């Protein structure tokens, strides 16, 4: 696990609609057997309904425990969580799109984005370099894909819809290139260091007559 990352257990509650049905059943049953013209009957039913709701919530609501990664760097944590949310949106858009070529391209977008996130997790000092990617480029891409999915659902496609679909598929090639460049740019310093090391090594080898 990278330095500055820890695991935490997060509990979420998946709420059930069953308690509400039980409360409704209590009121219906009570109205059949109690004299509803009396205030006491309403008070009795309200008390029973509250108890039924409380106990059924404990029984039917589902508590989900999930192990998540938490980062000491709050900016990194925010970026990673936002990236994960956007990846999920990419996958959801892909499920709605029938165009196989575009679907394959979205899969590559997901892979590139996952690599970008993993890179900034490994190199937290790079997180500021992906701010525009997360805040504009990726959300705009997802928005275009959602529009495309909506257009695909139209049974009767006019010239405006078809033209918009063509524009979206065309820009996706440019977006893919841009995403790859974003990932590659995160390794600029490393490539410069490697080039410098190679240059120095070649120079030393020549001086020692070891280059042949």
Q: In whole angstroms, what is the distance from residue 53 CA to residue 188 CA?
A: 59
Phi/psi at 114 (nearest 5 deg)? -60, -40
pLDDT of residue 3: 52
Phi/psi at 8 (nearest 5 deg)? -135, 150
On the question of pLDDT at 141 being above 90, the answer is yes
pLDDT of residue 76: 87
Residue range 140-156: average pLDDT?
92
Domain boundaries, the chain: 17-60, 74-198
Better-predicted residue by pLDDT, 114 or 27: 114
**Residues 166-201: tens digit of each pLDDT:** 999 999 999 999 999 999 888 866 655 565 556 656
Rg of the chain (C-alpha set):
29
Mean pLDDT score across all residues of the chain? 83
Which of 135, 115, 133, 132 has the alpha carbon at shortest distance from 187? 115
**Residues 88-130: tens digit of each pLDDT:** 999 999 999 999 999 999 999 999 999 999 998 888 888 888 9
pLDDT of residue 173: 92
**How many Å from the N-terminal Cα to the C-terminal Cα in the chain?**
44
pLDDT of residue 90: 95
On the question of pLDDT at 10 being above 60, the answer is no
pLDDT of residue 72: 66
Per-residue confidence band for 162, with pLDDT thresholds at 50, 70 and 90: very high
Q: In whole angstroms, what is the distance from residue 198 CA to residue 206 CA?
A: 12
Would residue 112 be called left, alpha or beta, if left means φ above 0 and alpha means ψ between -120 and 50 degrees? Answer: alpha
If DSSP codes are grouped into helix, strand and coil, which group holds residue 173?
A: helix
Task: Give the H or E element holding residue 68.
Answer: strand 62-71
Block residue for tokens 């590559």: 108
Q: In whole angstroms, what is the distance from residue 160 CA to residue 148 CA?
A: 12
Residue range 17-28: average pLDDT?
88
């Amino acid at each position: 696990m990278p330095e500055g990352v820890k695991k935490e257990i997060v509990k979420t509650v998946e709420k059930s609609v069953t308690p509400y049905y039980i409360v409704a059943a209590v009121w219906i049953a009570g109205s059949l057997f109690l004299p509803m013209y009396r205030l006491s009957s309403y008070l009795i039913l309200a008390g029973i309904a509250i108890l039924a709701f409380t106990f059924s919530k404990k029984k039917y609501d589902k508590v989900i425990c999930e192990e998540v990664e938490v980062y000491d760097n709050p900016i990194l944590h925010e970026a990673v969580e936002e990236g994960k949310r956007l990846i999920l949106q990419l996958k959801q858009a892909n499920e709605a799109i029938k165009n196989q070529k575009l679907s394959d391209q979205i899969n590559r977008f997901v892979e590139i984005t996952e690599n970008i996130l993993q890179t900034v997790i490994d190199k937290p000092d790079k997180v500021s370099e992906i701010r525009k990617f997360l805040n504009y480029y990726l959300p705009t891409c997802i928005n275009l894909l959602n529009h495309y999915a909506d257009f695909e659902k139209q049974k009767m496609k006019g010239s405006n819809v078809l033209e918009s679909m063509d524009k979206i598929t065309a820009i996706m090639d440019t977006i893919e290139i841009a995403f790859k460049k974003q990932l590659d740019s995160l390794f600029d310093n490393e490539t410069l260091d490697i080039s410098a090391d190679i240059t120095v090594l070649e120079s030393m080898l020549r001086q020692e007559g070891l280059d042949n």
